[in-house]
């Protein structure tokens, strides 16, 4: 059995309407990552960090600040939410969300259309996304020692959905429950993928840091 730890990146540029504008950590995002690094150094040991190739993922790995090799693997990159949302608007007339309640209602519409193959528009398919993140996890598990992966909520919630065999409403709830810099663990066993920890935030669960637990 191999166990892999994944963390979500820190808070990025909330309110952005395109990937380029979103893809950098906020000041709070860097602080969340630094707090996580302090927690990891006090309680865990890792032999390497592998992050996705997006700015927010790389910046999170850097701010966590572990004194171990850091590699990038683009297979850990996030789903193209902005592209999917644009396509859904063009093909299905579903408008962009402008508030948190609208985003909560919007997410399962995107995931349902994407999973059923109704969104094409030259975007990565749902099955291709699942295949690449599963392959990244499997390859990381083959390495010696302990590996920390830095990725995004779509990757984490999709892997959890695969492990728990959930439907889209269930996946949407998981997606919305992945806090920035939260900790997740998966075990790869002979009978498949198992979720062993979900959405831990011990580095933020202090009275003076509760304000720093963010999701969007």
pLDDT tens-place string over residues 152-193: 999 999 999 999 999 999 999 999 999 999 999 999 998 899
Beta carbons within 8 Å of 145's beta carbon, 6+ residues apart:
46, 47, 48
Measured distance CA(189)–CA(200) in Å, rounded: 22
Give start-end residues of each CATH 3.40.50.1240 domain in the chain: 2-78+125-212
pLDDT tens-place string over residues 104-129: 999 999 999 999 998 877 899 999 99
Angle between helices 55-64 and 27-43 (to 10 degrees): 50
Beta carbons within 8 Å of 37's beta carbon, 6+ residues apart:
63, 64, 65, 66
User: What are the structure tokens assigned to 37, written together?
Assistant: 């690094």
Which CATH code fits 2-78+125-212? 3.40.50.1240
């Amino acid at each position: 059995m191999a166990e892999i730890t994944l963390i979500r990146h820190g808070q990025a540029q909330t309110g952005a309407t395109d990937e380029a504008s979103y893809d950098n950590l906020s000041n709070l995002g860097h602080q969340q990552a630094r707090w996580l690094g302090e927690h990891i150094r006090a309680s865990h040991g890792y032999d390497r960090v592998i992050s996705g190739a997006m700015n927010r993922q790389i910046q999170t790995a850097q701010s966590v600040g572990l004194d171990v090799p850091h590699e990038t693997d683009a297979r850990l990159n996030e789903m193209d939410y902005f592209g999917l949302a644009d396509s859904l608007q063009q093909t299905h007339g579903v408008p962009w969300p402008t508030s948190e309640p609208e985003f909560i209602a919007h997410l399962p519409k995107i995931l349902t259309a994407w999973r059923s193959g109704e969104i094409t528009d030259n975007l990565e398919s749902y099955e291709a996304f699942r295949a690449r993140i599963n392959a990244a996890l499997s390859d990381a598990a083959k390495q010696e020692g302990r590996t920390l992966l830095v990725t995004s909520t779509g990757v984490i919630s999709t892997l959890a959905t695969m492990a728990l065999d959930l439907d889209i409403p269930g996946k949407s709830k998981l997606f919305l429950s992945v806090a920035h810099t939260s900790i997740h663990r998966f075990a790869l066993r002979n009978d498949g993928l198992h979720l062993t920890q979900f959405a831990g935030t011990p580095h933020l669960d202090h009275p003076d840091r509760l304000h720093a637990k963010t999701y969007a």
